[in-house]
Amino acid sequence: MNILVTGANGFLGQHLIKYLNARQYTVFATSRGKRRVPDDVPIMYISADLTDAKAVQDAVTHAQPNIIIHTAAISKPDECENNKPHCLQNNVEATTHLLQAFKLIQTPSKLFIYLSTDFIFGEMGPHSEDDATGPLNFYGESKLMAEQLVINSGLPYAVVRPVFIYGDVWDGLRPSFLHWVKNSLEQDKGIKVVSDQLRTPTYVYDICAGIDAIIKQHKTGIYHLAGSDLISPYKMAVTTAAVLGLNEDLIESVTSETFPEPVKRAKRSGLKIDKARQQLGYEPVSFEEGVRRTFGAVE
């Protein structure tokens, strides 16, 4: 089975490629510019800018995918808010190009898997799959627009919504929040972390396993693939310190007002995962276990 993963150079893309490649799939990977996926992962890499319809068509025609997993996006809310046309081009138009190109090829058992986000919702989380949407910022709006394109495309689809993804890193990947906490505390630096925002942080390999289950079980529809713990970034930092035996006293609990941001974010977000548990057998690790695995790099 051929799988084409977009956003191959990104955080989720690189982990997903590594995960799928170790299983029974033939993995094609595409991203902008040069390959940043480690050399020891034997995949077919296609450099393509997804805002270029012709480049997308060429990549899809070359890969002949049965499944496209679309992780590529401008994933930083600030970047989307500051340049809305750029955000629309990359998050929405690029999705249109991929859907169109996928429709044009004739491969069996087609499935388009779109990586969305909890940012398509507003306050009052944790949310179920069928809760009313209501993005609070332009990033969330763009991801919701792309979801709608996928849902109305006429192609078999799955929309996957994770939250605050974390996991191990290697050369070519940006350090995650957890790594910032570890590095700061190891250098005896005090850090301020917000305690009035709630999320269900997702261990990256749980998303990979959830996507694998969707593929194997031929599932379609919307699935929340998030963590099971509804916690604040402050609690995440304290848990990281505890797991790594670092000094928790260096972590100061602050409110969101300490860091005024141009982008509005929900105080109480997070996603419910009952549907994925029941229908996919999805069972994420606890946040504490996820931290342990992140720094032990266990798949």
Binding residues for ligand NAP, rule: CB under 6 A, are: 7, 9-13, 31-33, 49-51, 71-75, 90, 94, 115, 117, 143, 162-165
Nearer to ligand NAP, 148 or 250 (CB): 148
Nearer to ligand NAP, 163 or 215 (CB): 163
**How many Å apart are CA 107 and CA 100, to the nearest integer?**
14
Instruction: Work out how close the CB of 278 gets to ligand NAP at its nearest, in angstroms, rounded to a whole number.
Output: 22
Nearer to ligand NAP, 189 or 267 (CB): 267
Q: Report which residue's Cβ sits closest to ligand NAP.
A: 10
Q: Which residues pair with 28 in a beta bridge?
A: 4, 44
Instruction: Work out how close the CB of 218 gets to ligand NAP at its nearest, in angstroms, rounded to a whole number.
Output: 23
**How many Å apart are CA 270 and CA 266, to the nearest integer?**
9
Angle at the Cα of 80 (from 74 to 82), degrees rounded to 5?
A: 140
Environment class of 193 (CB within 10 Å of its CB; exposed 0-12, middle 13-18, buried 19+): buried
Instruction: Work out how close the CB of 245 gets to ligand NAP at its nearest, in angstroms, rounded to a whole number.
Output: 26
Nearer to ligand NAP, 73 or 266 (CB): 73
Instruction: Work out how close the CB of 247 gets to ligand NAP at its nearest, in angstroms, rounded to a whole number.
Output: 26
Pairing of strands 191-194, 67-70: unpaired
Instruction: Work out how close the CB of 106 gets to ligand NAP at its nearest, in angstroms, rounded to a whole number.
Output: 25
Beta strands in the chain (DSSP E): 2-6, 26-31, 44-47, 67-70, 111-115, 157-161, 165-166, 191-194, 202-203, 221-224, 251-254
Nearer to ligand NAP, 163 or 280 (CB): 163
Q: Of 252, 241, 250, 247, which Cα lies nearest the Cα of 292? A: 241
